[in-house]
Amino acid sequence: MTRVIPTLLFLAASLLAAQVQATTTFKIATLAPDGTSWMNEMRAAAQTIAQRTDGRVAFRFYPGGIMGNDKSLLRKMRVGQLHGGALTGGGLAEILPEAQLYSLPFEFRDFSEVDYVRQHMDPLLMAQLKNAGYIGFGISEGGFAYLMSDAPIAGIDALKGHKIWVPEGDLISRRAFEAAGTAPIPLPLTDVLTGLQTGLIDTVAATPTGAIALQWHTRVRYLTDAPLMYIYGALVIQQRAFEKLDTADQQLVHEVMGEAFERLNRQNRKDNHSALNALQIQGIEFVQGEAEALQQWRDTITAAMNTLVDGGLFDGAHLLLPHDRGSGMD
Residue-wise pLDDT tens digits, 47-80: 999 999 999 999 999 998 899 888 899 999 999 9
Residues in the chain: 330
In angstroms, rounded to a whole number, what is the distance separating the alpha carbons of residues 267 and 37?
A: 8
- Residue 292 is predicted with a pLDDT of 81
Residue type, 97: P
Q: Which residue has the higher pLDDT, 186 or 169?
A: 186
Q: Which residue has the higher pLDDT, 253 or 12?
A: 253
pTM score: 0.81
Segment 116-171, tens digit of pLDDT? 999 989 999 999 999 999 999 989 999 999 999 999 998 888 888 899 999 887 77
In this prediction, residues 246-262 reach a mean pLDDT of 96
- Residue 307 is predicted with a pLDDT of 76
Count the Cβ atoms, other than its own, within 10 Å of residue 144: 23
Q: How confident is the model at residue 311 (pLDDT cuts 50, 70, 90)?
A: low
The separation between CA 226 and the C-alpha centre of its own chain, rounded to angstroms, equals 20
- Residue 325 is predicted with a pLDDT of 45
Per DSSP, 76 falls in state H
Residues 150/203, Cβ–Cβ less than 8 Å: yes
**Phi, psi at residue 266, to the nearest 5°?**
-70, -45
Q: Is 260 left (phi over 0), alpha (psi -120 to 50) or beta?
A: alpha
CA distances from 212 to 184, 224, 261, 279, 285 (A): 22, 16, 21, 8, 15
322, pLDDT greater than 90 = no
The separation between CA 291 and the C-alpha centre of its own chain, rounded to angstroms, equals 29
- Residue 169 is predicted with a pLDDT of 74
For the chain, the average pLDDT equals 85
Residues 180/297, Cβ–Cβ less than 8 Å: yes
In angstroms, rounded to a whole number, what is the distance separating the alpha carbons of residues 314 and 173?
A: 15
Q: How many degrees, rounded to 5, is the angle at CA 97 between CA 89 and CA 74?
A: 60
116 membership: H or E segment, kind and range:
helix 111-131
In this prediction, residues 286-307 reach a mean pLDDT of 80
